[in-house]
Amino acid sequence: MKLSEMESDLYCIHCRTETPHVITYLNDEIKKIGCKECQNAVGLEIDIMQELYKEFYNRISTKPNRISQEYREDLSHFLARLPIRVVSKPYRLIKELQESRKIIRRYKKSSIQ
């Protein structure tokens, strides 16, 4: 799960002029657009669990193809890195799950308010 922000100049209906806005994305979906001048924000409803399931399904379903492509490109490099990747994978997975839990918790807390 990836939360990112981008700044862009958009027309604000409250300021009635083009002002800088902050656009917040959750994965590839727009979560919120907020004006930096008048602090007016528009939030969009996103099913956070569906986004999480979609992301994991995509990663799991494409994994065999990605592994095949890696070993076809450079078999010796693939075999040399494989033991390190196998050992470090649980730690990388835990780190990713913790980040996703933080985003989900923050999203649920902001949608309650």
| Closest CA relative to residue 51, chosen from 110, 112, 108, 109 | 108
Which pLDDT band holds residue 73 (cuts at 50, 70, 90)? very high
Token pair listed for 100: 């996703």
- The model's pLDDT over 18-64, given as tens digits with 9 standing for 90+, comes to 999 999 998 888 888 999 999 889 888 888 888 888 888 888 899 89
- pLDDT value of residue 43: 85
- pLDDT value of residue 112: 55
**Length of the chain, please?**
113
Instruction: Give ∠ CA 96-101-104 in degrees, rounded to 5.
Output: 125
What letter does residue 81 receive in the DSSP assignment?
Answer: H
Q: Where are the domains of the chain?
A: 1-46, 47-113
Which pLDDT band holds residue 80 (cuts at 50, 70, 90)? very high
Q: Is the pLDDT of residue 7 over 90?
A: yes
Cα(54)–Cα(19) distance, integer angstroms? 34
- The model's pLDDT over 38-49, given as tens digits with 9 standing for 90+, comes to 988 988 888 888
Cβ–Cβ under 8 Å, residues 60 and 52: no
